[in-house]
């Protein structure tokens, strides 16, 4: 996965998580409450100590990456500025191959205090645009579109996205539906939804 991946949305800044950031363990333990993590995989539900956080981060980063979400303040979308602000959530990105085509499994977690503001949809939309290069700066995009840069050379453009959710997770299902995901299959009691980049614009 690329070392440098970041993007902005009208309200958010996303950058690759820094494992050495001060206070990271406490930030994650405070965010992953029972309500926030109840629909996440079991390994993401018991983060009650720095050791458990480290184990979780190790397992996540072996196969993918985590992006840290912060709110933009006075237009400051710099890396240093974001690290000085508390995270409001995280994005999960896992690259995969299917029939020789590049895809990404994606997901998110959002701080409970931020629910109901449309931030999960905005953050996920920004991620999808970044990885698909669907809305370039010189394209005719609506004001609601995320202003993302051209893909970095080391980022493979996505040909599809996959997101898995528990059937009872109505809030996340609403997010995926808004983004244009469609039901694909159920495996081990998890419903998987699929999106191809050409469907992103149609979901606006």
48, pLDDT greater than 80: yes
Beta strands in 56-123 (DSSP E): 65-71, 89-98, 101-110
DSSP character at residue 109: E
Tens-place pLDDT, residues 99-130: 888 899 999 999 999 999 999 999 999 999 99
pLDDT-above-70 percentage for the chain: 78
At 153 the pLDDT is 42
165, pLDDT greater than 60: yes
173, pLDDT greater than 70: yes
- The span from the CA of 11 to the CA of 51, in Å, is 32
């Amino acid at each position: 996965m690329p070392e440098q991946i970041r993007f902005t949305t009208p309200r958010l800044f996303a950058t690759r998580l820094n494992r050495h950031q001060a206070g990271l363990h406490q930030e994650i333990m405070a965010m992953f409450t029972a309500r926030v993590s109840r629909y996440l995989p079991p390994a993401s539900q018991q983060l009650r100590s720095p050791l458990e956080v480290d184990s979780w981060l190790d397992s996540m980063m072996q196969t993918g990456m985590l992006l840290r979400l912060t709110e933009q303040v006075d237009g400051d979308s710099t890396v240093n500025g974001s690290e000085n602000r508390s995270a409001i959530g995280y994005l999960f990105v896992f690259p995969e191959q299917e029939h020789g085509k590049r895809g990404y499994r994606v997901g998110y977690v959002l701080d409970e205090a931020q629910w109901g503001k449309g931030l999960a949809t905005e953050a996920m939309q920004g991620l999808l645009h970044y990885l698909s290069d669907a809305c370039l700066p010189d394209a005719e995009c609506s004001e609601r579109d995320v202003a993302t840069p051209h893909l970095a050379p080391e980022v493979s453009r996505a040909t599809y996205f996959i997101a898995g959710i528990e059937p009872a997770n109505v809030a996340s299902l609403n997010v995926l539906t808004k983004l244009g995901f469609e039901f694909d299959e159920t495996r081990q009691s998890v419903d998987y939804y699929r999106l191809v980049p050409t469907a992103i614009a149609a979901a606006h």
